[in-house]
């Protein structure tokens, strides 16, 4: 934790008491950091809100930020940092995920902008009661004008992000203010060719608690010349309305699940600067459809909670990923080591990659996804990609049963959301055209929707619960 030092200016580093310090935000006080139906919010007003909220926070080392409104999340995140505290980013806002994070950090409090914890937004039937030690932001945020640009110690741990749990128990990953500055600079450089001069409006469908949402809808407007819409639109009509609030063509930050819904909805969107997507593999056909439908580039970003974003590709035209400047990948038996300017040391990814001579890479699945049946090997991720490529399949996943059958074999199962015109026989016939027969699913289970979380990921526990009777 670090005490706040108030300084005029705010650009570059500042040496204070021997510590390397970095500004809380970039730009002058008049530039817009957020916008909405009521117009822009200047940086000076935002900083006054941050100071006002910071003065009201309790003494504690950690805070869970549960804010639904993105602007209020941004204010609360910075206010917590100014108090020398660390923001905890739960993997979802289900009550179970919140309670799990608080159990790991019992000396924490929750901060939000609702009278409940917002768990209904994560798919639960009813809003959950407020968790213990809950601080609700007032409807009218307090203002504390004055002072210069706050700075934070570059080594201060300002956030701890938790992995989604799609591959097991959510793991904690600490992020320093210096690493966030460095990774945001890389993201700004990677997106620079997608828009012209001036402030870039950003509309995001992903929650700010997710690391992808944090990077592109919180840190991007905080540290770059960008402004974020305060809402988190979900339905296509809401996304279109938020985009219309932007003063110039906006960058839409979304996921493959939301993008497919947008493409299929028929809703007209205003002109866009570009669309970026992450959190789950983007089918190439969907990327091409979205580019044709919305008249802009769809850029897929690659990263993780452990590494932050470190590579990009134009999925409609490319298979290989291009790492950001200074990023180096090293394949190892259990996955891939990622070294980057914003990482204090190389981080291990479970993804298996194949590098080309130019340093670009192609994903070949994960070690945990590799299966062997009858002496043959395949990747569950690749099998799922083949399933999703079938015309009429809206969503789906191929997985291996958690337990073996009477013959000691863990059978393959598929959970599918598909058009009614595509029956099981036709679906299997289409899958057989691209898949070795030993890897064809022994069982197809049709559902109305997969149990994806807010960012489109499939938590392992939710999938196992769905397939509880599919092991045989």
Q: Name which of 112-116, 244-248, 362-366, 375-379 the model is least confident about.
A: 375-379
Report which of residues 131 and 79 the model is more confident about.
79
Query: What's residue 129's pLDDT?
Result: 59
> In this model, does residue 266 exceed pLDDT 50?
yes
Contact 81, 225 (CB under 8 A): no
Query: What's residue 471's pLDDT?
Result: 37
Q: Name which of 119-123, 210-214, 330-334, 467-471 the model is least confident about.
A: 119-123
CA 244 to chain centre: 23
Query: What's residue 117's pLDDT?
Result: 53
Query: What's residue 472's pLDDT?
Result: 36
| DSSP secondary structure code for residue 215 in this structure | I
> Encoding tokens for residue 141?
């945020």
Average pLDDT over residues 94-117: 85
CA 46 to chain centre: 24
Dist CA 398 CA 415 (whole Å): 7
Average pLDDT over residues 243-265: 95
pLDDT in tens, 122-172: 444 344 556 668 999 999 999 998 888 999 999 999 999 987 655 556 788
Dist CA 268 CA 190 (whole Å): 27
Average pLDDT of the chain?
86
> In this model, does residue 464 exceed pLDDT 90?
no
pLDDT in tens, 209-231: 999 999 999 999 999 999 999 99
CA angle 440, 441, 444 (to 5 degrees): 140
Q: Does domain 374-466 have CATH number 3.30.1280.10?
A: no
Q: Name which of 136-140, 330-334, 379-383, 468-472 the model is least confident about.
A: 468-472
Range with the largest mean pLDDT of 64-68, 75-79, 349-353, 395-399: 75-79
Segments of the chain assigned to CATH 3.30.300.30:
374-466
Query: What's residue 278's pLDDT?
Result: 94
Dist CA 67 CA 117 (whole Å): 9
Query: What's residue 469's pLDDT?
Result: 46
Compute the residue count for the chain: 472
State what percent of residues in the chain have pLDDT above 90. 59
Query: What's residue 18's pLDDT?
Result: 47
> Encoding tokens for residue 396?
């789906």
Range with the largest mean pLDDT of 5-14, 304-313, 366-375, 463-472: 304-313
Rounded to a whole number of angstroms, the CA Rg of the chain reads 23
> Encoding tokens for residue 25?
């935000």
Report which of residues 188 and 5 the model is more confident about.
188
Report which of residues 91 and 247 the model is more confident about.
247
Phi, psi of 452 (to 5 degrees): -80, 150
5-318: which CATH architecture? 3-Layer(aba) Sandwich (3.40)
CB atoms near residue 202 (< 10 Å): 26
State what percent of residues in the chain have pLDDT above 70. 87
Query: What's residue 221's pLDDT?
Result: 97
> In this model, does residue 401 exceed pLDDT 90?
no
Segments of the chain assigned to CATH 3.40.50.12780:
5-318
Query: What's residue 97's pLDDT?
Result: 80
Report which of residues 220 and 468 the model is more confident about.
220
Query: What's residue 470's pLDDT?
Result: 41
């Amino acid at each position: 934790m670090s005490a706040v030092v108030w300084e005029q200016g705010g650009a570059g580093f500042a040496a204070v008491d021997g510590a390397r310090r970095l500004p809380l935000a970039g730009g002058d006080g008049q530039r817009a950091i957020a916008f909405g139906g009521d117009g822009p919010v200047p940086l000076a007003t935002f900083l006054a809100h941050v100071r006002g909220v910071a003065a009201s926070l309790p003494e504690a080392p950690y805070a869970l930020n549960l804010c639904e409104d993105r602007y209020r999340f941004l204010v609360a995140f910075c206010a917590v940092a100014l108090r020398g505290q660390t923001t905890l980013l739960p993997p979802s806002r289900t009550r179970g995920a919140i309670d799990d994070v608080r159990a790991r950090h019992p000396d924490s409090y929750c901060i939000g902008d609702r009278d409940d914890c917002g768990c209904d937004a994560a798919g639960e039937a009813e809003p959950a009661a407020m968790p213990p030690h809950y601080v609700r932001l007032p409807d009218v945020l307090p203002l504390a004008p004055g002072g210069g640009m706050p700075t934070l110690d570059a080594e201060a741990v300002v956030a701890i992000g938790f992995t989604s749990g799609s591959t097991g128990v959510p793991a904690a990953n600490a992020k320093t203010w210096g690493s966030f500055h460095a990774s945001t600079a890389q993201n700004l450089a990677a997106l620079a060719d997608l828009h012209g001069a001036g402030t870039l409006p950003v509309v995001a469908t992903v929650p700010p608690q997710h690391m992808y949402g944090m990077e592109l809808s919180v840190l991007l407007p905080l540290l770059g010349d960008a402004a974020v819409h305060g809402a988190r639109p979900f339905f296509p009509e809401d996304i279109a309305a938020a985009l219309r609030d932007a003063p110039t063509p906006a960058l839409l930050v979304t996921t493959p699940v939301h993008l497919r819904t947008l493409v299929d909805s028929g809703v007209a969107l205003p002109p866009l600067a570009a669309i970026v997507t992450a959190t789950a593999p983007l089918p190439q056909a969907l990327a091409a459809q979205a580019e044709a439908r919305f008249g802009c580039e769809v850029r897929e970003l690659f990263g993780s909670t452990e590494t932050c974003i470190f590579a990009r590709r134009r999925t409609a035209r490319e298979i290989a990923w291009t790492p950001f400047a200074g990023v180096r990948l090293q394949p190892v038996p259990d996955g891939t080591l990622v070294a980057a300017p914003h990482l204090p040391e190389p981080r291990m990814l479970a993804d298996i990659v194949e590098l080309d001579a130019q340093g670009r890479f192609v994903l070949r699945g994960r070690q945990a996804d590799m299966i062997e049946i009858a002496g043959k090997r395949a990747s569950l991720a690749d099998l799922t990609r083949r399933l999703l490529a079938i015309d009429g399949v809206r969503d789906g996943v191929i997985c291996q049963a958690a337990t073996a059958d009477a013959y000691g074999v863990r059978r393959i199962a598929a959970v599918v959301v598909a058009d009614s015109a595509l029956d099981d026989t036709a679906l299997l016939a289409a899958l057989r055209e691209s898949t070795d027969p030993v890897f064809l699913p022994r069982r197809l289970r049709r559902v109305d929707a997969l149990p994806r979380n807010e960012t489109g990921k499939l938590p392992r526990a939710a999938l196992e619960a769905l397939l509880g009777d599919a092991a045989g």
